Amino acid sequence: MKVRFFVLWLIVGVPLLWGLSKTVQNALKLFQ
Amino acid sequence: MSFLDRQNTVAPPGYNRFLVPPAALAVHLSIGQAYAFSTFNLPLSKLIGLTKSAPDDWTLLQLGWVFSIAILFLGLSAAVFGRWVESAGPRKAMFVAALCFGGGFMVSAVGIAQHQLWLLYLGYGALGGCGLGIGYISPVSTLIKWFPDRPGMATGLAIMGFGGGALIAAPMSVALMDHFKTATSNGVLQTFIVMGIAYFIYMSIGAMTVRVPADDWKPAGWVAPVKPMKLVTNAHVEVNTAFGTRQFWLLWGVLCMNVTAGIGVLSQASPMIQEMFSGRVSAAAGASFVGLLSLFNMGGRIFWASTSDYIGRRNTYMVFFLLGIVLYFSVPTIGRLGSIPAFVIAFGIILSMYGGGFATIPAYLRDIFGTMHVGAIHGRLLTAWSAAGVLGPLLVNYIRQSQIEHGVPKAQAYSVTMYIMCALLFIGFLCNLLMHPVDSRHHFKSDAAAAGARRSAS
């Protein structure tokens, strides 16, 4: 159950963090 | 295909309920791609000309209809299929949503290959739109049943995914188009095929892993409050009955006004900041501002929905409307003072409340109508979103244009719009203020209880 928990959250967490980082990178340009 | 049926998705005893939100997120992160569809507009308008639009290429105006049709079908399918989603269960509903959404990309890919625009309208617009609607509502009632102690946080988490979907889809679409680009193609066809397959698989993972709790399941150590808060019911209201109550239409007004105020700004955010701070904000910085607003939109969904578990749903919307009025009212002054950071913070908070409005409404519905048909009632309420999707941008664009035609400088052309947004939020505030519990005569009674009630009445 713990492995499943880890894998499922990884499957949704990794793409979300990748998208977040890309958006933050772009958003920071507003203040440059 | 019986493994898709509701009875085969009941979780065994001891099942970890925190395995369910990722399943919901897988669906919402996928369908949230809709907010990033504009990434395809320019490439689709240059399919023949490649570097610039050829006379036979589709125009941006024609392509704008693809997104509009998708949002229209989102509202319609959520309203029409809400009852079916409740009876079929989340796994079957999520799988159908995956078929529709992935299939929508595939039909659109055929349309791109054949250069037939109607196939994009039919594919991404109608079929994909049904995937959006069914996918959006399918995990809501399941999450509310798994988290009776924190319904706002649970649904907020899923609906946050819808906001986050665009953050993933926008850079992913650009990267894929770059990867597939050749001397004779801009790569959009291959991108549609890859995204169709990828979203189908990703949403299917969500469908296969979702579980519903057993009917008598409760979180360990949790006891339902004997005397709940004034606006929280332990009873249930059937979807058709709920549709005829004053409370449903008050909530429709609450959602519609909150969304109208936010969506109008969202649709014009980039030109608005460039025009209000003319010469100080470039087009690239305007696009960055839109990205920043998306972050606030997403963060607001989980923040405000979780907060509503502590301060109550009505109080949360009171904050949205009152704080929204103050912020919208101050925007023209901020523009005159020329403070870009204050402008960004004001609109960031406004957009967080826009997202928060979407994420908190399922828990508000559960408080008022109970859990029995909350998904189906939520589906019907989403027609408020469709209405706001037309009303918000129309108001902002029309009033801005009218102001400019009357000689108002572009930098000040948004002031009247901001004051009208204040008025809309005040209407929402009144709807929220008038909210009270549903009369017990509307409560669902099982056949036995109804017969008993009839006997005692006669």
Average pLDDT over residues B1-27: 90
Q: Are B186 and B253 part of one and the same domain? A: no
**CB-closest option in B25, B168, B291 to A26:** B291
Rounded to the nearest angstrom, the minimum Cα separation between B41 and chain A is 19
Q: What is the DSSP letter of B10?
A: B
Question: Residue B304 in contact with residue B353, Cβ under 8 Å?
Answer: yes
Q: Are B203 and B348 part of one and the same domain? A: no
Instruction: Establish if B245 belongs to a structural domain.
Output: yes
Q: Taking CB atoms and an 8 Å limit, are B19 and A26 in contact across chains?
A: no
What count of residues does chain B have?
458
**Residue B123 confidence (pLDDT) above 90:** yes
Q: Taking CB atoms and an 8 Å limit, are A30 and B285 in contact across chains?
A: yes
Please report the pLDDT score of residue A17 as a whole number. 93
| Rounded Cα gap, residues B299 and B353, in angstroms | 10
Can you say whether the dihedral through the CA atoms of B4, B7, B8, B10 is positive or negative? positive
Question: Residue B23 in contact with residue B210, Cβ under 8 Å?
Answer: yes
**Residue B391 confidence (pLDDT) above 90:** no
Mutant choice from A16, A18, A24, A31 vs B, greatest count of B C-beta within 10 A: A16
Each residue of B277-315: pLDDT tens digit?
888 887 777 777 888 888 899 999 999 999 999 999 999
Rounded to the nearest angstrom, the minimum Cα separation between A30 and chain B is 5
Instruction: Establish if B319 belongs to a structural domain.
Output: yes
Please report the pLDDT score of residue B231 as a whole number. 79
Tell which phi-psi region holds residue B218, choosing left (phi > 0), alpha (psi between -120 and 50) or beta. Answer: beta
Instruction: Establish if B446 belongs to a structural domain.
Output: no
Please report the pLDDT score of residue B455 as a whole number. 58
Question: At residue B305, what are phi and psi to the nearest 5 degrees?
Answer: -65, -40
One DSSP character per residue, B257-322 reads HHHHHHHHHHHHHHHHHHHHTTTTS-HHHHHHHHHHHHHHHHHHHHHHHHHHHHH-HHHHHHHHHH
**Residue B334 confidence (pLDDT) above 80:** yes
| Rounded Cα gap, residues B92 and B101, in angstroms | 14
Q: Are B205 and B322 part of one and the same domain? A: no
Average pLDDT over residues B262-288: 79
**Residue B400 confidence (pLDDT) above 70:** yes
**CB-closest option in A9, A11, A18 to B205:** A11
Q: Are B251 and B290 part of one and the same domain? A: yes
**Residue B94 confidence (pLDDT) above 80:** yes
| Rounded Cα gap, residues B275 and B145, in angstroms | 47
Higher pLDDT pick, B314 / B402: B314
Q: Taking CB atoms and an 8 Å limit, are A27 and B295 in contact across chains?
A: yes
| Rounded Cα gap, residues B225 and B122, in angstroms | 48
Rounded to the nearest angstrom, the minimum Cα separation between A11 and chain B is 8
Please report the pLDDT score of residue B407 as a whole number. 85
Parent domain of B128:
2-209
Q: Are B33 and B181 part of one and the same domain? A: yes
Average pLDDT value for chain B: 89
| Rounded Cα gap, residues B101 and B126, in angstroms | 10
Instruction: Establish if B224 belongs to a structural domain.
Output: no
Q: What is the DSSP letter of B221?
A: T
Please report the pLDDT score of residue B216 as a whole number. 85
Mutant choice from A3, A7, A11 vs B, greatest count of B C-beta within 10 A: A11
CA distances from B392 to B63, B251, B308, B379 (A): 20, 18, 25, 20
Instruction: Establish if B215 belongs to a structural domain.
Output: no
Q: Which of B6-15, B151-160, B223-232, B253-262 has the lowest mean pLDDT?
A: B223-232
**Is B173 an interface residue toward A (CB < 8 Å)?**
no
Q: Taking CB atoms and an 8 Å limit, are B167 and A8 in contact across chains?
A: no
Q: Are B329 and B259 part of one and the same domain? A: yes
Please report the pLDDT score of residue B2 as a whole number. 77
**Residue B174 confidence (pLDDT) above 80:** yes
Please report the pLDDT score of residue B457 as a whole number. 46
Q: What is the DSSP letter of B183?
A: S
Q: Are B55 and B173 part of one and the same domain? A: yes
**CB-closest option in A5, A18, A27 to B291:** A27
Question: Which tokens sit at B164?
Answer: 């986050």
Q: How many structural domains are present in chain B?
A: 2
Please report the pLDDT score of residue B395 as a whole number. 80
| Rounded Cα gap, residues B293 and B296, in angstroms | 5
Please report the pLDDT score of residue A28 as a whole number. 76
Please report the pLDDT score of residue B307 as a whole number. 96
Each residue of B124-161: pLDDT tens digit?
999 999 999 999 999 988 998 899 999 999 999 889 99
Each residue of B232-256: pLDDT tens digit?
888 889 999 999 999 999 999 999 9
**Among B71, B137, B66, CA closest to B105:** B66
Q: Taking CB atoms and an 8 Å limit, are A4 and B26 in contact across chains?
A: no
The SS3 call for residue B152 is: helix
Mutant choice from A6, A26, A31, A32 vs B, greatest count of B C-beta within 10 A: A26
- End residue of a domain, out of B168, B189, B209: B209
Please report the pLDDT score of residue B294 as a whole number. 84
Q: Are B45 and B100 part of one and the same domain? A: yes
Question: Which tokens sit at B18?
Answer: 């925190």
Average pLDDT over residues B217-245: 84
**Is B168 an interface residue toward A (CB < 8 Å)?**
yes
B304 CB-contact burial (10 Å; exposed 0-12 / middle 13-18 / buried 19+): buried
Average pLDDT over residues B172-192: 93
Please report the pLDDT score of residue B319 as a whole number. 97
**Is A26 an interface residue toward B (CB < 8 Å)?**
yes
Q: Are B161 and B260 part of one and the same domain? A: no
Question: Residue B134 in contact with residue B96, Cβ under 8 Å?
Answer: yes
Instruction: Establish if B453 belongs to a structural domain.
Output: no
ipTM: 0.93
- Count of C-beta atoms within a 10 Å radius of residue B241: 18
**Is A14 an interface residue toward B (CB < 8 Å)?**
no
Chain B segment 302-361 residues within 8 A of A by beta carbon are 344
Query: B168 to chain A: which residues are within 8 Å by CB?
Result: 15-16, 18-19
Each residue of A1-32: pLDDT tens digit?
788 899 999 999 999 999 999 888 877 776 66
Give the CATH number of the domain where residue B283 resides: 1.20.1250.20
Q: Are B289 and B361 part of one and the same domain? A: yes
Q: Are B268 and B150 part of one and the same domain? A: no
Give the pTM.
Answer: 0.87
Instruction: Give me the residue label for tokens 């909530």.
Output: B251
Higher pLDDT pick, B401 / B359: B359
Question: Residue B160 in contact with residue B298, Cβ under 8 Å?
Answer: yes
Q: Taking CB atoms and an 8 Å limit, are B22 and A18 in contact across chains?
A: no
Can you say whether the dihedral through the CA atoms of B279, B280, B285, B286 is positive or negative? negative
Q: Which of B26-30, B66-70, B311-315 has the lowest mean pLDDT?
A: B66-70
**Among B32, B62, B31, CA closest to B47:** B62
Instruction: Establish if B173 belongs to a structural domain.
Output: yes
Instruction: Establish if B419 belongs to a structural domain.
Output: yes
Average pLDDT over residues B184-193: 94
Q: Are B247 and B204 part of one and the same domain? A: no
Each residue of B406-455: pLDDT tens digit?
888 877 778 888 888 899 999 999 999 999 999 888 888 865 555 554 55
Question: Residue B401 in contact with residue B197, Cβ under 8 Å?
Answer: no
| Rounded Cα gap, residues B102 and B346, in angstroms | 37
Q: Taking CB atoms and an 8 Å limit, are B26 and A11 in contact across chains?
A: yes
